[in-house]
Structure 1
Amino acid sequence: MSNAYLIESNNAVVAIDTLMLVSEAEAMRAYIDKIAKPLVAVFITHAHPDHYNGTATLLNGLGDVPVISTEGVSQCIAKVITAKDTKWRPHFGDDWPRDILLPTRIVTDNSVLTFNGINYSVHELGPAESDSDLYIIVGNKKPVVFVGDVVFNQVHSFMNDGHSLLWLKSLDRLSSELKDIELLFTGHGQPGASLEVIEAQKNYLITYRRELSNLLASETQLTSLELKNSIEEKLSALFPNYDMIGFIAAGANAVAAEIISARLDSKTL
């Protein structure tokens, strides 16, 4: 369900994200080998393992290919490597990579890099869907944009990092900055018309927060499990065609903590 992308130009290939498992990264590498053009760069959009975990596998034997991201993304990956390995290796076994490669080329906001005549403009968002997000505008005359997991399309959102308000602010920024870019490539789900899928993502986050806030305000004190079950029931009914229903309950505690913290802050003003 996670997306990674290959951008093929006349004489080169650039990757955006590298998937999670060894088998996935090997399949991606096999596709690159079939293209028979050199992989000249890898961009990492954020620090969730389904987007960076496969980097070492993808680059095995290819030499010094730059892995490009921001300092924020790099630091976040470094912080979670051990915890993610402890959590997921028992489940995936040898399909979970043993080598995790951090970004090797750090760029700052508004950096523009050119590979085989194509411009890649990196824009840092900070915390949004994850603890550090970015987006990349690719192309010259008619550019497109890759936003990682800042936009999901017809997929329930991963809310576990607890930045839903900042995420909404980032989406407002995208609405402004991407208004002239027609095509947006998501981290989960199909590509779509930029402003259309951004607005749909906003609506999802606003709806999730509203429904969860109503549950928290209920006179009935819900346990954590009851809260998760209730929000899953509500969101799955409101978005019946969305994939990854398990993401709904997974993020409930994190977003609830956000909402409760905001209420406490307002009472102290």
Structure 2
Amino acid sequence: MHGTLTVIDKGPVRIHSYNAPQDGLGVTTQLIETPSRIIAVDAQFVLAYADEVVAYAKSLGKPLDRLIISHAHPDHYQGAARFGVAVHALPETTAEIVAVGAKTDLPTGAPIPLADMTPTVQITPGTEVIDGIPFVFEKVTGGEIHTTLVIKLPEQGVLVAQDVVYNRTHLWLLDKDFDGWQANIDRFAAQTEYDTILPGHGEPTTPAIWAEITDYVNAGRELLGDDGDAYKKAITERYPTYQGAALIDVANAYMFGPKS
């Protein structure tokens, strides 16, 4: 397996957290195993890593019930068709995926048609009981992207935060919405009943992550000026053990234009 797998036992629920290698932008797919099925959250950027997740899911011996897309950044939805199940998302997320259109699998150059990535089932915020397990769906705005989905498993103390949280990975700060990042951090840090936090980049973590991300957001607010190269140098020197430098490069290209 090229990615890193973390398994967390939560009684009737088992979490299988797949973190892609860095050439897959360190994206994390969550496989939530309930008593009789598997719920997948986010689909990977590189199609080969989506295939790896699906192969592992099949090895668990339970049917894959659905794929949930947390938000409309391509690193979380390009591999959707590989899962072979209905794709669920908030309506805002579906609309943005459609607006972006077809994509390309960067390692292979293979086209990814829009139909392969478009969610077909609308998620309505609220509680849905799946296989006897309450799933709470919450729409979150601001921070990394204007609309994202957070999933709570209150009986298991699990917060599927996805890109509200990165673990030891450089943040995507394209929108420069530092206040939005901090508001979401504060919102979920106050919910102390959740002891297992599942990020969209990096391995599962604990509530200690809220203080770490606050520190990083403050650093981004301080260091992100009008020179992308200077910012990358400063932020990587401040956080030398963090992964995801490629995320900085991509965001810089959008903010400051490609390097000459």
Same fold (TM over 0.5): yes
Aligned residues: 230
Alignment-derived partner of residue 243 in structure 1: 243
* Aligned match for 1:199, one of 211, 215, 224: 211
Is the contact made by 1:41 and 1:66 (CA closer than 8 Å) also made in structure 2? yes
Distance 1:231 1:23, change over 3 A: same
- Would the alpha carbon gap of residues 124 and 27 (structure 1) be closer, same or farther in structure 2, given more than 3 Å must change? same
Match of 1:127 in 2: 142
RMSD over aligned CA atoms reads 2.2
Counterparts in 2 of 1:130 and 1:209: CA distance versus 1, 3 Å: same
Gaps of 5+ in 2: 1-25
* 1:99-118 matches, cutoff 5 A: 99-109=115-125, 111-118=126-133
Report sequence identity in percent.
23
- Is residue 78 of structure 1 aligned with residue 98 of structure 2? yes
Q: 1:122 to 1:160 in 2, by over 3 A?
A: same
Please say if residues 161 and 199 of structure 2, whose CA atoms lie closer than 8 Å, have aligned partners that are also in contact: yes
Q: Which residue of 1 aligns with 2:196?
A: 183
How many angstroms apart in 2 are the aligned matches of 1:2 and 1:24? Answer: 10
Counterpart CA distance in 1 for 2:248 and 2:117 is 30
For the structure 1 residues 105 and 200, does the alpha-carbon distance in structure 2 shift closer, same or farther, using more than 3 Å as the test? same
Find the aligned partners of 1:115 and 1:19 in 2 and give their Cα distance: 23
Structure with higher Rg: it is: 1
Give 2:162's aligned residue. Answer: 148
- Preserved contact between residue 159 and residue 254 of structure 1 (Cα < 8 Å): no
More helix by share: 1
Partner residue of 1:173 out of 187, 191, 194: 187
Q: TM-score w.r.t. structure 2 length?
A: 0.80
Seen in structure 2, the aligned counterparts of structure 1 residues 90 and 210 have a Cα distance that, compared at 3 Å, is closer
Distance (whole Å) between structure 1 residues aligned to residue 242 and residue 59 of structure 2: 33
TM-score scaled to structure 1, two decimals? Answer: 0.77
**Shift, 1:91, TM fit:** 5.4
Q: Secondary structure at the match of 1:150?
A: strand
